[in-house]
Amino acid sequence: MKDEPSPGDRSIRVLVADSNQIHTQLLAEALKRDSSLHVIAAASDAAGLVSLADRHDLDVVVISSNLDGEPERGFAVLRELRAAHPEAQAVMLVDSSKRAVVLEAFRAGARGVFSRNGSLETLSKCVRSVYDGQVWANSEQMRFALEALASAPTVRAVDAKGFDLLSKRELEVVQSLAEGLTNREIAERLGLSQHTIKNYVFRVFDKLGVSNRIELLFLTLSKASSPATHAPANGNIGHGPVAYWQQAAKEGSLTAQITLAEMYACGKGVETDRVSAYTWYLIANEQLLRARKHLTKLMTMEQLIEAERRAAECLSLLSSPLPPAHQEKTDYAHAILPNKSA
């Protein structure tokens, strides 16, 4: 029998499952402090979690990757939950932010990856963001996901003209998703209910052969960067994937800053703009200098010497003659980057 509606129209119904009973109870009590969250149930083992999910209406499940004493048991349980309750969103609690762990969490269906060293206040914000349709991950975790998508040949539409399979309304939803809007914001923009938007999102995922917003974002970016796609007129980059990179770059993501610089430099998805390209290269370079200065203080002289030796070896390889296909890009990089010998 389903539980009764949670108190308050805006309460988010949350199901919690941590690695043991004590941790689960502490986590549930902490989330209850947020008035916008309603913890409907808590479990400390896989069987209990699945049973509770079947008996309750839930919006978000907060699940540990470590269940039943097994470090990766939570991934399999989350897949089972997502299959039975596709409308529910998930936040995966991870003990490690290693690349393999982060990617497995996303593959299992998590929309948020939260490290245990984060604050409980931040976890509440994570739950609310995931409920609103956003992806929650720090810049390093997002970089892992994007790099994995970039190297995965299977991330493509199910049809050579996949985007042609979408209706006009579905294309509007795709554009809104690429801008980083939540389901609620898309519903307000298009004058539809959030439930209708969710249905559109599921249909878009099915038609394009993607399973989450990150894959859709990468697919959209690839489409925008293809020779058959024209750059926005008058340099209008306020819509589409570039808006995502701009937001991430402004928040301090070094990967996003370099990506933006290359997009503007090569005209990928936007009109070529060397001033903007050089601006983002300068910003990225400043971040690198700060990181280098900070790291230097933590290293011994022997470590610094070894790092400089490795860098010298790598730079000597980079300075070797390149094939013709890469020469134009290298010449352009030399033209816009400052010359240290000048």
pLDDT level of residue 222 (50, 70, 90 thresholds) = low
Residue 241 has a pLDDT of 57
pLDDT per residue as tens digits for the range 4-29: 433 445 689 999 999 888 988 888 99
Residues 130 and 163 in one domain: no
Q: Which residue would you say has higher pLDDT here, 154 or 119?
A: 119
Helices (H), 19-138: 21-32, 46-55, 73-84, 99-108, 120-131
Residue 113 has a pLDDT of 93
Kindly provide the b/e burial profile for residues 51-65, where b requires at least 16 CB atoms within 10 angstroms of the residue's own CB: ebbeebbbbbbbbbb
Which pair of tokens denotes residue 242?
């570039």
Whether the per-residue pLDDT at 341 is higher than 70: the answer is: no
Give the bridge partners for 38, in sequence order.
13
Give the list of residues 6+ apart from residue 214 with CB closer than 8 angstroms, or none: 106, 135, 142, 145, 146, 149
Residue 99 within a domain: yes
Residue 220 has a pLDDT of 63
pLDDT per residue as tens digits for the range 287-320: 788 777 777 778 788 887 888 888 777 767 654 4
Residue 318 has a pLDDT of 55
Domains held by the chain: number: 2
Residue 67 within a domain: yes
Residue 40 within a domain: yes
Residue 266 has a pLDDT of 82
Residue 301 has a pLDDT of 81
Residue 215 has a pLDDT of 66
Residues 125 and 190 in one domain: no
Residue 30 within a domain: yes
- The backbone torsions φ and ψ at residue 61, rounded to the nearest 5 degrees and listed phi first, read -110, 130
Residues 156 and 124 in one domain: no
Give the bridge partners for 89, in sequence order.
60
Whether the per-residue pLDDT at 117 is higher than 90: the answer is: no
Residues 127 and 156 in one domain: no
**Closest C-alpha among 148, 164, 153, 152 to residue 207:** 164
What is the C-alpha separation between 323 and 309, in angstroms, rounded?
A: 26
| Domain closes at, from 194, 229, 264 | 229
Residue 223 has a pLDDT of 55
Distances (CA, A) of 81 to 31, 48, 49: 21, 12, 9
Share of the chain above pLDDT 70, in %: 74
Output the CA angle 50-123-93, nearest 5 degrees: 45
Residue 336 has a pLDDT of 38
Residue 8 has a pLDDT of 43
Residue 251 within a domain: no
Q: Alpha-carbon Rg of the chain, whole angstroms?
A: 23
Strand order in the sheet with 12-17: 37-43, 12-17, 60-64, 89-94, 112-115
Residue 125 has a pLDDT of 92
Whether the per-residue pLDDT at 109 is higher than 80: the answer is: yes
Q: Which domain holds residue 41?
A: 12-137
What is the C-alpha separation between 163 and 137, in angstroms, rounded?
A: 27
Residue 63 has a pLDDT of 95
Residues 118 and 202 in one domain: no
Residues 173 and 130 in one domain: no
Q: Across residues 48-56, what is the average pLDDT?
A: 89
When mean pLDDT is compared across 69-83, 179-193, 233-247, the lowest value belongs to 233-247
Residue 16 has a pLDDT of 93
| Domain closes at, from 98, 113, 137 | 137
CATH number for the domain spanning 77: value is 3.40.50.2300
pLDDT per residue as tens digits for the range 126-172: 999 999 888 899 888 888 888 876 665 443 444 435 667 788 888 88
Residues 210 and 117 in one domain: no
Distances (CA, A) of 222 to 85, 234, 247: 31, 21, 18
Q: Which residue would you say has higher pLDDT here, 330 or 46?
A: 46
Rounded mean pLDDT of the chain? Answer: 76
Residues 214 and 128 in one domain: no
Kindly provide the b/e burial profile for residues 292-319, where b requires at least 16 CB atoms within 10 angstroms of the residue's own CB: eeeeeeeeeeeeeeeeeeeeeeeeeeee
Share of the chain above pLDDT 90, in %: 14
Residues 128 and 52 in one domain: yes
| Domain closes at, from 111, 137, 163 | 137
Residues 108 and 198 in one domain: no
CATH number for the domain spanning 169: value is 1.10.10.10
Residues 184 and 221 in one domain: yes
Residues 96 and 162 in one domain: no
Residue 230 has a pLDDT of 36
Residue 333 has a pLDDT of 38
Collapsing DSSP to helix, strand or coil, 115 comes out as strand
